[in-house]
Amino acid sequence: MKKAKYTWQLREKSELSEEFSEILTNEKINPLLGQLLWHRDIQTKDALERFLRPTVENLYDPFLMHDMEKSVNRIQQAVAQGEKILVYGDYDADGITSTTVMKEAIELIGGEVEYFLPNRFIHGYGPNVSVFKEQIENGIQLIVTVDNGVAGHEAINYAAEQGIDVIVTDHHELPPELPNAFAIIHPKHPKGQYPFGELAGVGVAFKVATALLGELPVEFLDLVAIGTIADLVSLTDENRVLVKMGLEMLRNGERIGLDTLIHLAEVKKETLSEENIGFTIAPRLNALGRLGEAAPGVELMTTFDEEEAEQIATYINSQNEERKEIVAKITKEAFELIDPTESIHIVAKQGWHEGVLGIVAGRIMQETGKPTIVLTIDENNESAKGSGRSVSALNLFDALSEIREEFTHFGGHHMAAGMTLPFSNIDTVKKHLISYIEKNQIDLSQGQELLIDETLTVEETTISFIQQLKILAPFGTDNPVPNFLFKDVSIEQIRQIGADKSHLKFQLSQAGAKLDAIAFQMGNQADEFGLGTTNVAGQLSINEWNGNKKPQLMVSDFSIDGVQLFDFRGKNARQKEIPVSNTLYIYFSSDSKKLIDDVTSEQLLFNDLDDVIERIEKRAIQQLVFVDCPDDIDLLKQITQLGKIQRVYMLGRSQEDAYLNGTGTREQYAQLYKFVRQQEQVDVRYKLNVVAQHLKIQEKLLIFMIQVFFDLGFVTIENGVLRKVDNPENHPLTESKVYQTRLKRIKTEEFLLYSNRETLQQWLWNEEEV
């Protein structure tokens, strides 16, 4: 049995209303797709129209936001009076695009604008007193924040003391007390009437631009789409409208710097999608702030010089490549520090780049399914700084808020947190989280949830159905790419792909229908697939190659019902680790214990089935490891069918190599017999290798042949000394019980060690005989 990595949450089928079913028919929408729309609360004709064909009429009036009119008047006043205006942004993709939108909007009405993006390592996040002081001393007379500011009390108070107005535009969670700003524009402001509170920072900046210009600035929609997608805000309602129109602008717009970056990223502009933004463009912009200064991002978005655009885009690409290398290195080192038995992971090391620790924590959390905190330690071993990522079962912010006093700086939300703390406090934080999980009975064994939208058959995955799925796009938070479940399928043509064999490619087969599948980063799980019932969850796409189109499943997760057999025999040995817990190693010969090292799991030298049954029940054994081969092959079948065994690992070590060495030829027995008759005695304890070389018989085979002679009464052995027996009774070799057992073992080894895994698995759990 292979448990799924995630906890699958299958949506229950809904009964669509007759009216909605008729609407789907008129729109020629597949009923399966109708279920997906219904689950996304698209259940009326008007809702479907807004969802499928959003227009500018679906956007809300920016003046519904608190302080919008006040802010517009103040900016217009500043422009009229020739005041120097500063746009104060943030160092991520949302901050870069927000800054660009606000800067260009104010410039369009004739304003004198400068901008500043803080350096996360020098200035930190949000308004910074020293930066405000320097900017005011340089003549700034109005400050407009974008994508930050609602928590900037100290810096905003300083500006107010200097007689400088600060207009805050932000979308982050509102603190209990708001700063003393001239105006605060926020979609969730308690005194506002804005109907949609999930705008990104760039969405709020766009609303200010719309109000300031008195019309919809469609030329900014490309930036709005990038920032909104990058910041992972809800892609519903107004955000869906903005992104859908923004993607169209990206495909047809003429922003020189952005076009250059898209080209260098090897993305086709005419088919650019939210996926390209989320996985290709946004990470490049984010890489700037992660490694240093983010200002080149704004320069790229605003330049009209093709040569400058090429230089900046090339630099951004190089920063992203460096970022990926740093992430890969730290991730590898962090995994080496992890104890897989712990309920949470907190890893810390000197020299790790703090700008990427959130990414590393996220990767470890995704791989292990456990909350993870990754910290970099300063050179004096005094302070640690980093990020945490959690699973849905644990609210990391709430858990750490109970011990705020342990941190120098701390902030976050349910799934993520950033922190600085004394190095000596790391162990305290770890103990608290473990205690918090136990005290609140939080079950981390289930893994993260994976929402399954529909159960499909392989036959239903047609090109036309997959193409229709695109009407649900753009996908993102609260409008995810649908996950489909394929139950009881067979897996065929499985193979590892990629330069490092880290991915899998295979086919799902069901009732004669086939579906290609690819599973990224699952290459090490190739041996999980075999005989048995497989359930696969994933996302559908169309694979186009040389003009041919085929449905393809991008695998998210899989499970396998029934007992599995893992082939660790011979050259297949130890392709991956054997589980330690709930595992029982079984030996059939005491000599076989020396064949493997460092076993910390339960071990048992086989005596009878009752011993095995008792151990399995007492220790809740789920995995069996057969180290060697029994004389009686049927013992394996009887043992594997005991209890609640889920996985069987076949090491198949052989101390004797009975199948390879055989029983010996008549000539070899004659040669040995002649040798024994010529000797008074033979020291077989210390001189066996000399005898083997003399007789030119393999040493293990020679041991067996001597045992046969002993069994038949041809020789005696005492204290390691072999002596001939004068006038022994004549017996054929086949009368020897040792010889008969050898024949059985040869047959056992031949089947257990040299048949393929499929044959062996079929035999173990079925009635076939060897």
* Coil/strand/helix, residue 682: strand
- Over the stretch 469-493, which tens digit does the pLDDT of each residue have? 999 999 999 999 999 999 999 999 9
CATH topology of domain 57-319: inorganic pyrophosphatase (n-terminal core) (3.90.1640)
CA–CA separation, 39 and 472 (whole Å): 12
CA–CA separation, 276 and 281 (whole Å): 7
Note the pLDDT of residue 595: 77
659-735 CATH: 1.10.10
Q: In the structure encoding, which two tokens stand for residue 375, read together?
A: 């910290």
- Over the stretch 183-192, which tens digit does the pLDDT of each residue have? 999 999 999 9
Note the pLDDT of residue 166: 98
Note the pLDDT of residue 61: 98
Residue intervals in the chain for CATH 2.40.50.460: 7-40+450-561
Q: Are 304 and 256 in contact (CB under 8 A)?
A: yes
* Mean pLDDT, residues 562-574 taken together: 78
Q: Are 104 and 302 in contact (CB under 8 A)?
A: yes
Say what the alpha-carbon torsion angle 318, 323, 325, 330 is, to the nearest 10 degrees.
Answer: 170
Is the pLDDT score of 19 beyond 90?
yes
User: To the nearest whole number, what is the mean pLDDT of the chain?
Assistant: 93
Note the pLDDT of residue 125: 87
Helix axis angle for 666-678 and 699-711, nearest 10°, is: 70
Residue with the bigger pLDDT between 542 and 340: it is: 542
Other Cβ atoms less than 10 A from the Cβ of 306: the count is 12
Note the pLDDT of residue 405: 94
Identify residue 489 by its one-letter amino acid code: V
Is the pLDDT score of 575 beyond 60?
no
- Over the stretch 260-271, which tens digit does the pLDDT of each residue have? 999 999 999 999
Is the pLDDT score of 632 beyond 80?
yes
CA–CA separation, 230 and 329 (whole Å): 24
Q: Are 232 and 286 in contact (CB under 8 A)?
A: no
* Mean pLDDT, residues 139-154 taken together: 96
Q: What count of Cα atoms within 13 Å lies in the side-chain half-sphere of residue 323? A: 23
- Over the stretch 639-696, which tens digit does the pLDDT of each residue have? 988 868 889 999 988 888 899 999 999 999 999 999 999 998 999 999 999 999 999 9
Note the pLDDT of residue 573: 60
* Coil/strand/helix, residue 334: helix
Other Cβ atoms less than 10 A from the Cβ of 699: the count is 12
Note the pLDDT of residue 253: 86
Residue 206, C-beta contacts closer than 8 angstroms, at least 6 positions apart: 101, 217, 220, 221, 224, 242
Note the pLDDT of residue 162: 97
Note the pLDDT of residue 305: 96
* Coil/strand/helix, residue 529: coil
Other Cβ atoms less than 10 A from the Cβ of 682: the count is 21
Note the pLDDT of residue 576: 63
CA–CA separation, 220 and 534 (whole Å): 48
CA–CA separation, 752 and 636 (whole Å): 10
Q: List the alpha helices (DSSP H) in 440-541.
A: 463-468
- Over the stretch 266-303, which tens digit does the pLDDT of each residue have? 999 999 999 999 999 999 999 999 999 999 999 999 99
CA–CA separation, 271 and 297 (whole Å): 23
* Mean pLDDT, residues 6-26 taken together: 91
* Coil/strand/helix, residue 650: strand
Which top CATH class is 564-655+750-764?
A: alpha beta
* Mean pLDDT, residues 231-253 taken together: 95
Note the pLDDT of residue 770: 60
* Mean pLDDT, residues 398-424 taken together: 90
CATH topology of domain 7-40+450-561: OB fold (Dihydrolipoamide Acetyltransferase, E2P) (2.40.50)
* Coil/strand/helix, residue 136: helix
The domain at 337-439 falls in which architecture?
Roll (3.10)
| Long-range pairs for 492-501: beta carbons < 8 A, 24 or more residues apart | 494/526, 494/529, 495/526, 496/523, 496/526, 497/523, 498/523
End-to-end CA distance of the chain: 24
Of 56, 474, 476, the closest CA to residue 243 belongs to 474
Note the pLDDT of residue 562: 83
Residue intervals in the chain for CATH 3.40.50: 564-655+750-764
Residue intervals in the chain for CATH 1.10.10: 659-735
Residue intervals in the chain for CATH 3.10.310.30: 337-439
Helix (H) or strand (E) holding 713: none
- Over the stretch 369-398, which tens digit does the pLDDT of each residue have? 899 999 999 999 999 999 999 988 899 989
CA–CA separation, 367 and 435 (whole Å): 23
